[in-house]
Every structure is written in C-alpha cells, then in structure tokens.
A and B are shown apart, each in its own frame.
Chain A
Amino acid sequence: MRVEISHKFVVGIIIVVASVVLLNILVPQMDIPEWTHQWIIIIGALLVGLIFGWLFSKAFSANIKILREGAERLSEGDLSRKVRLRKGLFSDETEDLSVSLNLVVDSLRNLVGQIRTSSVNVNESSLALSTTAEEMTAAAHEVAGSIEQISRGAETQAEMVERASKVIREMAEQIELVTSVAGKLSISSEETTISARQGEGLTAKALENLKDVLSQIENNAELIVAFSEQVQKIGSIIDVITNIAQKTNLLALNATIEAARAGEYGHGFAVVAEEVSKLADSTSASAGEITRLIETTREQSQKVQQSMADSVKAIDAGREAVDITGSAFKTIIDKAETAQVKSVHIRDLTEKQRSGAQALVVAIEEIARVAEDNAASTEEVSASTEEQTASMEEMTFASQRLSKLADELLVSVSQFNMGAVQEPKG
C-alpha cells in the first residue's frame, strides 16, 4: 500500500495525539499519585512520539541511505547494481526515487555500453582509418613520385614533341622540296622521252647519212687508188725522163769536154752543149721536182688511202655505234617512258606525302599543345597530389588523434562498472 511520507507524518502525529488521549484516560484510573499523572502522560506521549519518530526516521533514513549509496555508486560509475529498497508495508516517494534512479542506471548502462561499443568501433575504425590513411599517404607519395615522373616525362615529352615538331616541319619543308623536284623530274622525264624520240629519229637519219658517207668514201677510196696508180705511172714516166735528163746531162758534159778539147773550133759546139746541159739540168730538176711532188702525192694518197681505210673502219664502228645508239635510244625511250610514269607516280605520291606532312605538322603541333597542356596539368596534378598527401598526412594524424580519443573514451567509459553482463564485445 502506498502512503506518502507526509501522510505518514500526519499518522504519526495522530498516533501521538491518540496516545496522549489514551494516557489521559488510563492514567487516572491507575493507582498512582495524582501529581504523577501529568508526568506520566507527558513521558508516555514523549515515548510514543520518540518510538514512532524513531521508527519513521529509521525506515525513512534507511531508504535515503540506500538511495544515497546508489547515487554515490552511480557517481563513482558503478552501474553493476541497482538500488534495491527494503520491502515495507507502505511504499512512499523513496520507492519512486529508487525506481527513477534504477532507470537512470539502466539508461547510463545502456549509454555507456553504447559509448564503449562505439568507442571500440571508433577506435577500430580510426585505427583502420589511420592504417588506410597511412597506406593512402604512402600510395599518395608513390602517386606523387609517379606524378613527378609523369611530370618530368611530360616535360620531356613536350620537349621531344617540340623537337619532333621541328624535325617534322623540316621534313615537311624537305618533302615540299621533294615534291617540287618530283614535279620537275616528271617534266624532265617527259622532256627526256621527247628528246630520246628525237634522238632516235636523228640517229636513224645519222645512220642513213653514215651509209651515204661510207659509200661515198668507198667510191673516193677507189678513185684515190686509181689516182695513185696513175701517179705511179707518171712516176715511171718521170723515171724515164730523169734517166734521159741524166744521159743528156752526161752527153752535154762530154760535149763540153769535147768542145773544150776542140779549142776555138769547138766554141759553138760548147755553147750548144752548155744549153743542152742547162736543159738537161732543168729537165732533171723539173723531173726531180715532179718526182718529189709524185712522191709527196703518193705519200699523201697513201695517207688518204690509209685515212680512207681508217675512215671506213671508223664509219663501220660509227655505224655499229649508231646502231647501238639507236637501240640505246629505244632502250632510253622505254626507260624514259617508264621513268616518266614512275616520276608521275612519284609526283602524285610526293603530293600526297606533302599533304600528309602538312596534316602531320598540324597534328604534331596539336600534340605539342596537348603535351604542353599535359605537362601543365601534370604539374597541377602533382601539386594536388602533394596537397592530397599533406591532407592524407593530416588525416592520418587526425585518425591517430581520433584513435587516441577513442582510447581515452574507452578509458573513461571503463571507469563505469557495468558488471559482466554488459561488457561490450570486441
């Protein structure tokens, strides 16, 4: 039965008053002096009041003590026991207080348990986070190194691309030149073909002219041979004339001798002999001159014959050479036509190559720009990676601090005694 404390005090006062009343009735009937009646009533009322006061205060202070001890345990973090009041006949507000205090204990126990579990979880998570952060920091360092390498590679790539761009531009210029030369080559090969055809026609004409010249030279050689034979005959005649002149000279000489021997009578004869001698000398000189001329003519004719023979041989060789030249011109024409076709092909190819080179120049310039952008981006990524690394290091430090805080929280939570039932797992 529930009786509030105030009601219990009222009941106690009523009981004291009732005991006074009862004593006032009973004591006069007792066989004791009258003057003691008053004292006995007072003392009896005091005793009743003390007994009831002691009983009430004892019951009340015992519960208060239990509550105080429960509150002290609670303040000390002992959540292992609940507040248990002694069972009385009449419950009061202390019972409500103990229930409330036990509710607080339960709540705190749940809360501490949850805090402990959460702290353990936070500790484990912060440790895992720290490990992950360290791994991520290491990975970030590696990434930073890789990014730096990539950055250097990007710079090298940009430089190489710049060089390649320069080389390709030069190559494009050279291809431009090659294209121009290929065009000229095509024109030249076409002109070569035309010239070779003209040369073939001229060679045919030259061959015909050579044949005519050869036949004329052969005729001339025959004429020269006939002329040499005639000159040889003239030489024979001149030999006769020379012989006659010598004989005449000898006769004139002997006639001069005879005339000299005849003295004055031979004077006229001597004059005639002298004239004859002069004629003979003149004849001999002329014959000698003719002989020399004939000799010279014969030598010249022999030279001419030899020259003719050499010319014939040379013309034969020339005819063969012209034949070879003609066939060579045919070969040249074939080759030139083939070369013309090939040069046209080369010209077309070089034109395509020139277009390709220009496109390549544009592409390599784009690549160069992209490489420069990549290098810049890589530098930015490198900076970001460094920032990320710093952040990861901060995060590692923060997770370590969090782990430390979780440990401290666990230490703090461990101060609560929750008994064996409420120990958190892990």
Chain B
Amino acid sequence: MRQLLPFCIGAEKYALELFDVQEIVENVVIYPFPGAPEVVAGAIGFHGRIVPVVNLARLLGDRESPLGQRLIVLTNEQGPVALGVSMVLPVQKLEATREQLPDGDAENPFVSCYLYWENDMITLFNLQTLRSQLELLCGSTGV
C-alpha cells in the first residue's frame, strides 16, 4: 500500500510519497532572502533550523497562483527544504497502482511518474529534478 500526500499547484495536482515528507507546517512566517531567486520565497524557522521555502508554482512557471497557508517540509534526505504549494490535500492510500513513466523530453521534468488506480490518476512529483533545479539555481546565484 502506498501513501501519498497530494497537493495542488494552481490547477495542477501532484503528489509526494509520504515518507519523503517530514511535516506539514501552517501559518508560519516566511522571511525573504535578499538576492535569492524568485522561486525561493524565503526561509522559515523549523524546530530551531532555518529551512528555505521554494515556491513550486514559480518553479513550474506559474506566476499567478499564490501560496497557500500550509508548507510541506521535506525530510532531511530531500533537503531540508519546504515546498510552498497552493493547497495541501488529505493523505491518500493506494492499494494497487499502475505506474507509467513519462515519455521522453517532451514531458514535464518534474513528473516522476503517473500512478493509476481504479478510474483515477495522479502525478508523482519528481524531487530529484527539484533538487537538481535548486542546486542549479542556487549555484548560479551564489546562495
């Protein structure tokens, strides 16, 4: 059984594996970084640590959708980083799924795979692409 945490970026719906998620925080103050790229909304205080907040909508090229009240804090293996999304949905448990990998370079690089069950489908967010994109951005800006 797979447990996923779905979330929305604008009108698009993505999901993360639940073991990649450290915690969901709500109504925290985001402190902006001077000179940071626009995809980095700022940083939050998370259990005594400073964790950067990535605006996934900006990262995916959506400049219109605002951030929601909740942030998804990824595990240490994936960051640490907090993802700013439009809306965090309740945890979904999938008993039997069928995975389909994206086709070639024409697909969205942030799509890890498509999960199908019953008559529904969800897009699994690719954290590796996220990490590489962040490293690329942070390396170019010197943050």
Contact = CB atoms under 8 A, between A and B. Distances in A.
A33 B105 CA distance: 246
Given A256-B91, A260-B3, A277-B90, A250 B26 contact: yes
A257 B18 contact: yes
Given A250-B70, A277-B90, A281-B90, A257 B26 contact: no
Contact of B22 (A246, A253, A257): A257
A257 B21 contact: yes
Contacts of A277: 90-91
B91 A246 contact: no
A324 to B, nearest CB: 59
B90 A260 contact: no
B97 to A, nearest CB: 16
Nearest to B22: A257
Interface residues of B, number: 13
A198 interface: no
Contacts of A253: 24, 88, 90-91
B5 interface: yes
Given A253-B91, A254-B23, A260 B70 contact: no
Interface in B1-50: 3, 5, 18-19, 21-24, 26
A261 interface: yes
Nearest to A243: B27
Contact of A260 (B18, B26, B88): B18
Q: Which secondary structure characterizes the binding site on chain B?
A: strand
Contact of A250 (B5, B22, B24): B24
Interface string B87-120: 0101100000000000000000000000000000
A317 B24 CA distance: 60
| A: interface residue count bin | 10 to 19
Given A277-B90, A281-B90, A260 B24 contact: no
Nearest to A250: B26
B79 to A, nearest CB: 15
A93 to B, nearest CB: 190
A250 B73 CA distance: 13
B24 A257 contact: yes
Nearest to A277: B90
B98 to A, nearest CB: 22
Of the listed residues A250, A253, A256, A261, the one surrounded by the most CB atoms of chain B closer than 10 A to its CB is A253
B16 to A, nearest CB: 10
Interface string A253-297: 110110011000000000000000100010000000000000000
A104 to B, nearest CB: 174
B26 A246 contact: yes
Interface in A216-261: 246-247, 250, 253-254, 256-257, 260-261
Contacts of B21: 257
B90 A257 contact: no
B23 A256 contact: no
15 contacts: A250-B26, A250-B70, A253-B88, A253-B90, A253-B91, A256-B3, A257-B18, A257-B24, A257-B91, A260-B19, A260-B91, A261-B18, A261-B19, A277-B90, A277-B91
